[in-house]
């Protein structure tokens, strides 16, 4: 067996329905304005503007997802070590027909 490192890329796609974009934005703005947020005043203003100007709620949702939440998918597996995590949130046209048919099924 080779000692060469082996890497696997885990891809997860989740479509969510935004029930209240204003509440989502308010929650994200609270995180941005929180004193523990590691942001300069200029960065706070910039991020708050991004969240407020995004009617889809994608910017707000991205602010509310903690990296630790994503890592919980694999933290119980002893034989791997997470090396890189990238999170993107973007608007969607809604669930695909396949997603609607298999709502909450594991692939």
pLDDT digits (tens, 9 = 90+) for 42-76: 999 999 999 999 999 999 999 999 878 888 889 99
- Please check whether residue 25 lies inside any domain of the structure: yes
Residue pair 10/73 in contact by the 8 Å Cβ criterion: yes
Taking the model in full, what pTM does it have? 0.75
Number of domains in the chain: 1
Q: Token pair of 104, please? A: 């909450």
- Please check whether residue 74 lies inside any domain of the structure: yes
Model confidence over 14-50: pLDDT tens digits? 899 999 999 999 999 999 999 998 999 999 999 999 9
Q: Which domain holds residue 41?
A: 21-101
Alpha-carbon distance of 24 to 27, in angstroms, equals 5
Closest CA to 62 of 102, 21, 28, 38: 28
């Amino acid at each position: 067996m080779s000692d060469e490192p082996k890497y696997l890329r885990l891809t997860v796609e989740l479509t969510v329905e935004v029930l209240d974009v204003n509440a989502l934005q308010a929650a994200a703005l609270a995180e941005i304005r929180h004193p523990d947020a590691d942001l300069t005043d200029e960065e706070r203003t910039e991020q708050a503007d991004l969240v407020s100007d995004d009617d889809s709620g994608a910017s707000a949702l991205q602010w509310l997802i903690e990296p630790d939440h994503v890592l919980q998918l694999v933290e119980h597996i002893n034989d791997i070590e997470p090396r890189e995590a990238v999170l993107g949130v973007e608007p969607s046209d809604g669930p695909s027909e396949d997603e609607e048919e298999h709502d909450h099924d594991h692939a």
